[in-house]
Amino acid sequence: MLSMIGGLVVLILDIWAIVSILSSGASTGSKVLWILLIVILPLLGFVIWLVAGPKGNQALT
């Protein structure tokens, strides 16, 4: 039961990330690469996007 809830949380976060990527001002190529990363590696891809994505870069400056 706990793994099912965890999987659902990861799915919701991944969908949120993909919608956010699609609505961003990034180039089409960047969008495709980020979405592929999230689809291929759902949890790790989300964490990488959260840290290194466009909003992550703004937080560092």
The string of pLDDT tens digits covering residues 2-58 is 889 999 999 999 999 999 999 988 889 999 999 999 999 999 999 999 998 866 555
pLDDT at 24: 87
Closest CA to 53 of 28, 30, 19, 23: 30
13 Cβ contact partners less than 8 Å away, ≥ 6 residues apart = 46
CB 33 within 8 A of CB 39: no
Distance between CA atoms of residues 38 and 36, nearest Å: 5
Closest CA to 27 of 54, 51, 61, 58: 54
Assess whether pLDDT exceeds 70 at residue 60: no
Say what the pTM is. 0.82
